[in-house]
Amino acid sequence: MMLRSFFHLPVFLLFAHATSVYAVCDPETAKLRWPSGNVTFTVELADDFRERAEGLMFREELASSAGMLFVYERPGPVSFWMRNTLIPLDMLFFTEDGVLAHVHSNAIPLDETPIPGGDNIQYVLEINGGLADAYGLRPGAELQHPSLNQAAAEWACPASE
Q: Provide Rg for the chain, Cα atoms.
A: 18
Q: Are strands 142-144 and 89-94 parallel, antiparallel or unpaired?
A: unpaired
Round to whole Å and give the CA distance between 76 and 50: 18
Q: Is the pTM of this model over 0.95?
A: no
Report pLDDT digits (tens) over 47-104: 999 999 999 999 999 999 999 999 999 999 999 999 999 999 999 999 999 999 999 9
* Predicted confidence band of residue 136 (pLDDT cuts 50, 70, 90): very high
Report pLDDT digits (tens) over 106-118: 999 999 999 999 9
* Predicted confidence band of residue 161 (pLDDT cuts 50, 70, 90): low
Of all residues in the chain, the percent with pLDDT exceeding 70 is: 84
